[in-house]
Chain A
């Protein structure tokens, strides 16, 4: 027996994005809302990020992931938000019907006035890489290993190689070392690491773990369990260079090769996705192409800082509340386009003359450079910095006053000095 329940607002995902969206919506007057979370606890990926470095922007102090999540959970409880854990959303449709399943309630269908997508992202699995070799045990994504070690107290292995030098891989190099494993190498395909300098110093150099740039794993040995990997240098076209092979005797390979927004549900709801972000195309109210369906956090675009996730999600919660009151921004929109050196600007469509925050990643490293926003070729905003890198998302505030009389599309581009 399915039961159908009417709700003003249904939020899918109880990570930092879903929690912030729920808090903001309730503070904006939405009484009848529910947050659906498939895990046993709210908090999302932060539950397993036990290292510190969260919350510097929002709280001016460095919290660990669980501490950051606990603050939002405490606030949600204070407001009496209905958070249903152990509840997996199976589908959303274009009429905002959300179908979910839980052991306690069985199959349930919510008919929602508005829906906020906050499902986060997932890691690229091994299959997406085409790494050769046998399918033996001992190969995990770095995030899965983080979950074993930090949430379950289990060690995935004793001798470890890490492929990919993004922050999660670096953080796991240190974690594995501290918990007693030997990390033999961190191997990065590109000639630079996309991780923070702080993590390169404090997670690799502190423990004398070598970083092999412009290298990749070319072979994997072992039948039942991983026994070793072969690493080789690559040329400018990322092809392995014969004669540069290094053999590592290891029982574990961790993959840290990128994150992708978790948009299976969104696609089935008919939400249009952007090829640049792999997340939804949204307007300035973070509304997707399906009316009344909003998106925020890592499901919209992969963030590096949870502070920005919270900030964006507060806006989504307020926007959903406005939509429910019938106050959604109306009228013509203009496009926001990726100009030179800019990848994946969010939002992609905006109503002119509003306060706006634009976020994107630079396509390369720009030193002593500016971000420029133009409308019809006329500059309306500029932000300078000593350095912009693809590893750090740029957030640019565009106050309403700066573009009150603009009609054409906006273009965001990088300008080197």
Chain B
């Protein structure tokens, strides 16, 4: 049996929850005040995900363009995603919402621009 301490991020209560795991399966969550905490704790210990935002240089432009993953990606892939973004060579024009890197690192999730560079 393993235990992990998780702080719930869904509201300012910041409940500290203890999650017990057996063979990688969640067997219990304690310390949460409401259901949202339990759901978050399960997600966090089994398949944590994060949005990634960054800036990428644009050829012949002084200012970089800001980008984001369209959906959260697995937390373990954040550094890979950043490494892939460092390899990107973008040139203007770029429309906000445009895909700048499709299916980043095989996650099935696109990286899109969040600002227009004309």
Contact = CB atoms under 8 A, between A and B. Distances in A.
B12 A52 contact: no
Contact of B50 (A200, A202, A392): A202
Interface residues of B, number: 27
Contacts of A196: 9, 12
Q: Helix, strand, loop or mixed for chain B's interface?
A: loop
A206 interface: yes
Given A152-B62, A198-B9, 5 more contacts: A62-B51, A64-B114, A70-B115, A206-B75, A387-B11
- 4 tightest A-B CB contacts, nearest first: A198-B9, A153-B64, A50-B66, A197-B14
Nearest to A197: B14
22 contacts: A50-B55, A51-B53, A52-B51, A52-B68, A64-B53, A64-B114, A70-B115, A70-B116, A150-B55, A150-B66, A151-B64, A152-B63, A178-B52, A179-B54, A197-B9, A197-B12, A198-B9, A200-B7, A206-B75, A367-B13, A387-B12, A391-B12
A51 B75 CA distance: 16
Contacts of A152: 62-64
Contacts of B62: 152
Interface string B3-39: 0000111011110000000000000000001000000
Contacts, number: 73
A198 B13 CA distance: 11
Given A52-B68, A197-B14, A202 B114 contact: no
Contacts of A386: 11, 13, 33
Interface string B86-118: 000000000010000000000000000011100
Given A178-B78, A387-B11, A387-B12, A66 B114 contact: yes
A55 to B, nearest CB: 12
Nearest to B9: A198
B34 to A, nearest CB: 8
Contacts of A91: none
B42 to A, nearest CB: 16
A53 B73 CA distance: 16
Interface string A386-397: 111101100000
Contacts of A52: 51, 53, 68
A416 interface: no
Interface string A65-94: 011001000000000000000000000000
Q: Which of A67, A149, A151, A202 has the most CB of B within 10 A?
A: A67
A123 B50 CA distance: 28
B45 interface: no
A176 B75 CA distance: 17
A50 B63 contact: no
Contacts of B7: 197, 200-201, 205
Nearest to A199: B9
Interface of B: 7-9, 11-14, 33, 50-55, 57, 62-64, 66, 68, 75, 78, 82, 96, 114-116
Contacts of A202: 9, 50
B115 A66 contact: yes
A417 B47 CA distance: 38
Contacts of A201: 7, 9
Contacts of B75: 206
Interface string A345-362: 000000000000000000
Nearest to A392: B12
Contacts of A149: 55
B113 to A, nearest CB: 9
A153 B12 CA distance: 33
Contacts of B11: 386-387
A28 B24 CA distance: 59
A80 B45 CA distance: 50
A66 B9 CA distance: 24
B57 A153 contact: yes
Contacts of A178: 52, 54, 78, 82
